[in-house]
Amino acid sequence: MPDIGGLQLLPETRRKIEVSLPGQNRSLILSLIILALVIGLYFSLLTYKRSLFSSMTAINQQLEELEKSRDKQMEIRLLDLNNQLSVVNPLISSHFFWSEAFTKIQSLVQPQVQFKSINADALGKKILITALAANYTTIARQIASFYTIDSVTDIILSKVQTQPTGQTELTMQLFFDPSKMLIKK
């Protein structure tokens, strides 16, 4: 009612009291900080994506250059050789074992015995020997010397025949333990 009928009874000297509370702009500042972090994260991820794509492009170019430098005919020949070696390798590796076994047998042969033939059968676990000996005593010594190695399990003397030359022909089978005879030392 300051103004009644044109008269003003109260002066207009009222002052406006402003109360400022601390932290009124806090949510605005916090949202601006979060927005700046999101924008920074977006641009850093965008830069990382570009660097990944450039690395991928460089690797693809290297792969293409490598593909161009390949000799496909040589690769086919090498694969064929690898397949052939996979067949031959067991034979070669077992050759060494048989060589060791024959070395053992050779070291036990009596001086008056000559081998005519020797046949080995790994599956049958036997060695068939045809030989010429000076006499029956030499044959007995030969059999005894074969029994001295622990890998020989049995010996069968299947044929003994006197030759016109005075020598005695014999055929014997040596049975052996493959785990002892055909091992690499």
Instruction: Return the number of other C-beta atoms located less than 10 Å from residue 138's C-beta.
Output: 19
Provide, rounded to the nearest whole percent, the portion of the chain with pLDDT above 70: 82
Residue 138 neighbours by CB under 8 Å, 6+ apart: 110, 112, 113, 168
Does residue 1 carry a pLDDT above 70? no
Tell me whether residue 34 is exposed, middle or buried, using C-beta atoms within 10 angstroms of its C-beta: 0 to 12, 13 to 18, 19 or more.
Answer: exposed
Per residue in 25-40, pLDDT (tens digit) is: 778 888 899 999 999 9
User: What's this model's pTM, rounded to 2 decimal places?
Assistant: 0.49
Q: CA 130, CA 118: separation in Å to the nearest integer? A: 6
Q: CA 133, CA 142: separation in Å to the nearest integer? A: 9
**What does the mean pLDDT of the chain come to?**
85
Per residue in 87-134, pLDDT (tens digit) is: 887 777 666 577 778 888 888 898 999 999 999 887 888 999 999 999
The pLDDT value given to residue 183: 65
User: Of 49-63, 122-136, 169-183, where does mean pLDDT reach its minimum?
Assistant: 169-183
Q: CA 133, CA 128: separation in Å to the nearest integer? A: 16
The pLDDT value given to residue 118: 92
Check: CB of residue 155 under 8 Å from CB of residue 143.
yes
Does residue 185 carry a pLDDT above 60? no
